[in-house]
């Protein structure tokens, strides 16, 4: 039975630990962004008083007018 060198595993393990930290940081960042966008969406809907069911029946011009955007 061959024995593996312990030294060859150390750099690999260190690299995996580094990658894990990076991925955990990315997950935290994405969770914060998701929560922020979710809250912003709630506030926009609340402030505009948008009825999502009625928006589906509006043409684009009517939709802009309902939002007060006279373009």
pLDDT of residue 70: 60
- Report the pLDDT value the prediction gives residue 51, as an integer from 0 to 100: 63
pLDDT on residue 46: 80
pLDDT tens readout for residues 18-60: 999 999 999 999 999 999 999 988 888 887 666 666 666 656 6
Rg (C-alpha) for the chain, rounded Å, is 26
Whether this prediction's pTM lies above 0.85 is answered by no
- pLDDT at residue 8 in the model: 66
Alpha carbon separation from 22 to 14, 16, 18, 28, 61 (Å, rounded)? 12, 10, 6, 10, 46
**What's residue 43's pLDDT?**
85
Domain ranges of the chain: 7-66
């Amino acid at each position: 039975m061959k024995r593996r060198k312990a030294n060859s595993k150390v750099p690999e393990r260190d690299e995996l630990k580094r990658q894990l930290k990076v991925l955990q940081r990315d997950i935290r960042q994405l969770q914060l962004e998701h929560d922020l966008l979710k809250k912003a969406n709630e506030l926009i809907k609340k402030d505009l008083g948008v009825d999502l069911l009625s928006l589906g029946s509006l043409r684009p011009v009517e939709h802009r007018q309902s939002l007060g955007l006279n373009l």
